Amino acid sequence: MLKPPHPVALAAYLTAARINPNNHALDGGPATAALEQEAVAQLAQMFGYQTHLGHLTSSGTIANLEALWVASRLHPGKRIAFSSEAHYTHARMCEVLGIETAVLPVDAGGRLHVEALAKCGGEIGTVVVTPGTTAAGAVDDVYAVTNLAHERGWRVHADAAYGGFFTLIAALPEAEMNHASWAALAACDSIVVDPHKHGLQPYGCGCVLFADPSVGALYKHDSPYTYFTSRDLHLGEISLECSRAGAAAAALWTTLRVLPLRAHEGLGPVLLACRRAAIAACDRADEGALLTSVVRPELDIIALAPMRRGERAKASTVSARTETLFTNLMRDRERPFYVAKWRVGGGLIGNVLPTVEWDQVGCTVLRSVLMKPEHGAAVDDVVAALERWPSLSE
């Protein structure tokens, strides 16, 4: 998942980096701290938050760590639930924090199984929803989960690190997205989004947002030699991280001036181009007879199995074809294609690829993230390259 930063972001980052501001305390970066607060407010508004508390982070991992930490403080002793397709950072960070977890199954689209969640009881304190898994771009039913969670008294945390910016185009008919799920993000207690993915920023630029500003009372750190220049809020007072690059805030703020967070201008058309490319690639593959879609793309990620339409094949056979095609495409000296692989397993076994015989745990398929707007022009070539598998494997 590599998306080159926008030239404006690079220019702003390098300009600010010359003085190396630190957004921990106002005395370390007064200008960039103000830019961070403005940029974060725009992100909160994008998700429909009426009030918010938030800041930028060095990564989505740290942003999720902070959200899970807050959840554990508000619901001590309670489990945090997430799907088997949620990002591995949740299991990892819960282990770091000493929080018990509940891993829930997914449906045929790779989304958190709401019926399984409904069977959970009082042991749950927080539910993590993922509007855009990093494996296949599956979008959990945020609307259904938030309704259920509010009935049960659970918190809801949205890990929108990858897919969050797609909320800008969710209401557009041509985007073919479930608008209700995206609109329901406003009902989540916390949200994480990574501007260094679809926000066209350099790594690392994550962001954590809380709907209730009162969670700021949980942050109880002080310093004998900072926070003394102003009675205004220092961003370090509401962050688990201390030193943070002010240049990242300058880059994001400047980018949002050039590419505002709107559906029909600014960042919206960039995202729509990526979404259209994924739809076109899936349709193009389905029109042929040599590739099988693993799931219908909900964002800009496609997953295709090298097997003919309706073919009955062993998981080991499909995996071997994938490995052969992956290697040959990458090593083609005349026209190399770089795609990724995805090992379909866990809760997806039996839910996808109905004609596959699961003779092993997991099945490796081809995966491509069409996250650059230029990818739309290459869809036919990419699919044609993937359709070469019979000549390489048979």
CA neighbor of 47 nearest in space, from 148, 202, 162, 193 = 193
Give yes or no: residues 232 and 365 share one domain: no
Given 258, 281, 298, the domain boundary residue is: 258
| 107 touches 130 (CB < 8 A) | no
* Cβ count within 10 A of residue 377: 10
Q: For residue 122, tell me if it sits in a domain.
A: yes
Is the domain of 109 the same as that of 140? yes
Q: What is the pLDDT of residue 7?
A: 97
**Is residue 345 in some structural domain?**
yes
- Tell me, yes or no, whether 77 lies in a domain: yes
Residue 2 lies in a domain: no
Residue 142: partners with Cβ closer than 8 Å, 6 or more residues away: 129, 131, 156, 158, 181, 182, 184, 185, 187, 188
Residue that is last in its domain, among 227, 258, 289: 258
- What's the pLDDT score for residue 394? 63
Residue 1 falls within a domain, yes or no?
Answer: no
Domain co-membership, 47 together with 100: yes
| Sequence-separated (6 or more) residues with CB below 8 Å from residue 221 | 236, 237
Q: Consecutive sets of 10 residues in the chain, 394 residues long: mean pLDDT of each?
A: 91 96 83 95 98 95 97 97 96 97 94 96 96 96 98 98 98 97 98 97 96 88 51 73 92 98 97 97 94 95 95 96 94 89 86 91 95 92 92 74
> Does the model's pTM come out above 0.85?
yes
Within 13 A of 199's CA, how many CA atoms are on the CB side? 36
Residues 144 and 46 in one domain: yes
Shared domain check, 129 and 104: yes
Structure tokens at 189: 């207690």
Pair (127, 273) in one structural domain: no
Using the 3D structure, point to which of 193, 228, 258 is the last residue of a domain: 258
pLDDT at 228: 46
Instruction: Determine the pLDDT at residue 220.
Output: 67
> Tokens standing for 198?
């679809």
Geometric angle at alpha carbon 377, from 376 and 382, rounded to 5°? 85
Token readout for 350 is: 């039996």
CA distance 268 to 160: 16
Count how many domains the chain has. Answer: 2
Q: Examine the domain organization and report whether 206 and 300 are in the same domain.
A: no
Tell whether 277 and 222 lie within a shared domain.
no
Give the model's pLDDT for residue 2: 77
pLDDT at 9: 98
Are residues 224 and 272 both part of a single domain? no
The answer as to whether 73 is a domain residue is yes
**By residue range, what is the domain housing residue 11?**
7-258
Same domain, 189 and 300: no
Phi, psi of 190 (to 5 degrees): -150, 155
148 with 175: CB under 8 angstroms?
A: no
Q: What is the CATH number of the domain that holds 119?
A: 3.40.640.10
Whether residue 277 sits in one domain with residue 248: no
* One domain, residues 90 and 233: yes
β-pairing verdict for 313-314 and 356-357: parallel
CATH of the domain at 381: 3.90.1150.170
Using the structure block, give the residue that is written with the tokens 């690059």: 245
Residue 168 lies in a domain: yes
